């Protein structure tokens, strides 16, 4: 399946199970992998045959910078459901939500969740 990849979308949000995360907020980095047929778009050079990356970005930004969730798992699910609703051509979607600086002790690069949803298996 063909894919559109949007990597490293960075936003500031207030998601987290800890009170300080909801008050202070933190950076979130989102990676998206959108599967859909792209052959027609490649042949006719028409955005109607693809998905508008700008709209994907704006929808994702509205979720991450919007109302807080306790879990980044919920943020990922909201992104997937929103993208499926907005883009009927979307066949499947992988979303990775990364917290580069979570308020937990230890040495690590980041913590993240990644989910994969297929429209046909999730309807």
- Whether the predicted pLDDT of 123 surpasses 60: no
What are the chain's domains? 3-122 (3.30.1130.10)
Of 36, 32, 26, 38, nearest to 9 by C-alpha is 32
Of 71, 99, 110, 109, nearest to 12 by C-alpha is 99
pLDDT tens digits, 54-107: 999 999 999 999 999 999 999 999 999 999 999 999 999 999 999 998 888 888
Supply the residues annotated as catalytic.
Answer: 99
The whole-model pTM stands at 0.94
d(CA 123, CA 116): 14
């Amino acid at each position: 399946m063909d894919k559109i990849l949007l990597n490293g979308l960075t936003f500031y949000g207030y998601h987290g199970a800890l009170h300080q995360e909801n008050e202070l907020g933190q950076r979130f980095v989102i990676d998206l992998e959108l599967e859909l047929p792209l052959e027609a778009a490649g042949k006719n050079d028409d955005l109607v045959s693809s998905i508008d990356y700008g709209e994907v970005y704006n929808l994702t930004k509205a979720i991450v910078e919007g109302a807080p969730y306790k879990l980044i798992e919920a943020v990922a699910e909201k992104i997937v459901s929103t993208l499926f609703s907005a883009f009927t051509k979307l066949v499947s979607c992988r979303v990775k939500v990364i917290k580069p600086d979570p308020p937990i002790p230890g040495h690590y690069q980041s913590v993240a969740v990644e989910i994969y949803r297929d429209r046909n298996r999730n309807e």
